[in-house]
Amino acid sequence: MSSLTSAPTDAVPQPLVVRTVALDDLAGDQGAPDPADLLDLLPSEAPLAWVRRGDGLVAWGETLRIPVAGPHRFAAAERAWQDVLRHAVVRDEVRLPGTGPVAFGSFAFDETSPVGGVVVVPRVVVGRRGGRSWLTTITPGAHLSPAPRLADVVGPRVPAIDPGDVVYDDGAVSADGWRDVVAEGIAAIKAGEVDKVVLARDVHARTEHPFDVRWALDRLAARYPSCWTFSVDGLVGATPELLVRSEKGLVTSRVLAGTIRRTGDDDADVAHAAILAHSSKDLEEHEYAVSSVAQALEPFCSSTNVPDVPFVLHLPNVLHLASDVTGVLAAPTGTAAHPSSLALAAALHPTAAVCGTPTDAARDLIRRVEGMDRGRYAGPVGWFGADGDGEWGIALRSAQLDADDPRRVRLFAGCGIVAASDPAAELAESEAKLVPMRHALGRDASDS
Ligand SMILES: C=C(O[C@H]1C=CC=C(C(=O)O)[C@@H]1O)C(=O)O
């Protein structure tokens, strides 16, 4: 194994014991932590989260950290996870998606990025789905421990720290400079190099007080309930785009591309939704993204359903063209099992919603003109379990906390560019896509 595909076989120093117990019977238990508000359980140190409309998973502690890098980073993560599972003693008393052994992951957009990616096997996981809650502990050892209790693994409740005043600064490329980047993208499209390219920019933020990820998670989940609010290893955000969910042989992907800003006036936004639904520029942008997902899923599915026409997804900051692509997974010829959710994410990444069409040429163009390393922005982020099922979003509407300075945060936004794009309009769209993370770092309900 090359050093770039780091998934050391000694990643599992000893067997792990995994216990999942139901928390449902805690209702009314005076003084016990309430699993109904998952985010409220998180400690400030390295919180892990994947939450939507109150359901999902939160986790903390690190039983195992598996860094990966390079073009085979997904396969390396998968192998390491299988290795973990081979050494695990599991008792799962709940048996729902997200119970039993669970790992969180986040991967760089670009295989050449030094950032690579990481899989974190947490020490404690609390999950919730359809009114049922559970607690999983994952600890080194060889024998089953007594059933864990939530009160024993949740630390004292310490409120999230207000980041205080936030100062924003140019990222790798200034706003003006980014218009030129977009113009270069449009020129490349007109020259026939690509049909579509997605170009992104970053903005730097400096917070007055050390950035407490939980502050952002609470505000994102409250303001963007239809998005997947996530936190993995300092990457935090609320993404509206689901790269892939795989559950019991069914696969789903929510594809987004094509955007219009909201005005704050409901009547005007209804008119904007109609404009978006008929905009040939946005429909073209969307079609590239849907095709890339449908084509990537096809080899793994016995059947797929690709909507003919997108719907308009309403978010507080923007409206998007959206398509939910679904499929029934089939085991590849000669094998017994269908691919894991991470293998599917690897096959889908990067879709034309974050890279472009054709993929390789668009990625080359991004490397040439964007002027920054995206890190894990626009890469897959999510979780998977012992059976390989899981959920992976595309890390959009997100920010990366600086590992060396807890007051420094890098915010990201990108836009799909086609021949009919206009640099000034794309810059305005990128500002609208920065709104969720600016809100997450703010203090008041009105903070954008
Ligand atoms: C690349 C981003 O958005 C993608 C997802 C939805 C709509 C998009 C668009 O209309 O350009 C982008 O393809 C981002 O938010 O950083």
**pTM, full prediction:** 0.95
**What average pLDDT score do residues 204-226 get?**
98
**Cα-to-centroid distance, 321 and ligand 1 (Å):** 10
pLDDT value of position 90: 95
Average pLDDT of the residues in 93-120: 98
What percent of the chain lies above the pLDDT cut of 70?
94
Residue 157 confidence class, pLDDT cut points 50, 70, 90: confident
Residues labelled catalytic: 196, 241
State the pLDDT at residue 3. 33
How far apart CA 424 and CA 430 sit, in angstroms, is 10
Any alpha helices (H) in 191-305, and if so which ranges?
213-223, 266-278, 280-297
Superfamily of domain 166-225+245-441: Anthranilate synthase (3.60.120.10)
- Which residue has 């929510």 as its token pair? 254
Distance of alpha carbon 205 from alpha carbon 408, whole angstroms? 6
User: Which pLDDT score, from 0 to 100, does residue 30 have?
Assistant: 57
Q: What are residue 141's phi and psi, to 5 degrees?
A: 150, 175
Residue 339: predicted pLDDT: 93
228: pLDDT strictly greater than 90: yes
pLDDT at 4 over 50: no
Report residues whose beta carbon is within 6 angstroms of any ligand 1 atom: 198, 200, 241, 256-259, 285, 320, 353-354, 396-397, 413-416, 433
- Give per-residue pLDDT as tens, 390-414: 999 999 999 999 999 999 999 999 9
Tell me the average pLDDT across 174-192.
Answer: 98
| AA letter at 238 | A
Q: Which two tokens stand for residue 253?
A: 């992907």
How many whole angstroms from 285 Cα to the centroid of ligand 1? 10
Instruction: Tell me how far apart the terminal alpha carbons of the chain are, to the nearest angstrom.
Output: 46
Q: Alpha-carbon distance 291 to 276, whole Å?
A: 19
Say if residue 1's pLDDT is above 70.
no
Confidence bin at 35 (pLDDT 50/70/90): confident
Q: Where are the domains of the chain?
A: 3-153, 166-225+245-441
**For 354-370, how does the pLDDT look when each residue is reduced to its tens digit (9 = 90+)?**
999 999 999 999 999 99
The residue contributing the CA closest to ligand 1 atom 8 is 257
Tell which atom from ligand 1 comes closest to the C-alpha of 377. Answer: 16
Q: What tokens appear for 289 in the block? A: 């993204």
Better pLDDT: 116 or 12: 116
In the structure, what pLDDT confidence band is assigned to residue 137 with cuts at 50, 70 and 90? very high
Give the DSSP letter of residue 39: G
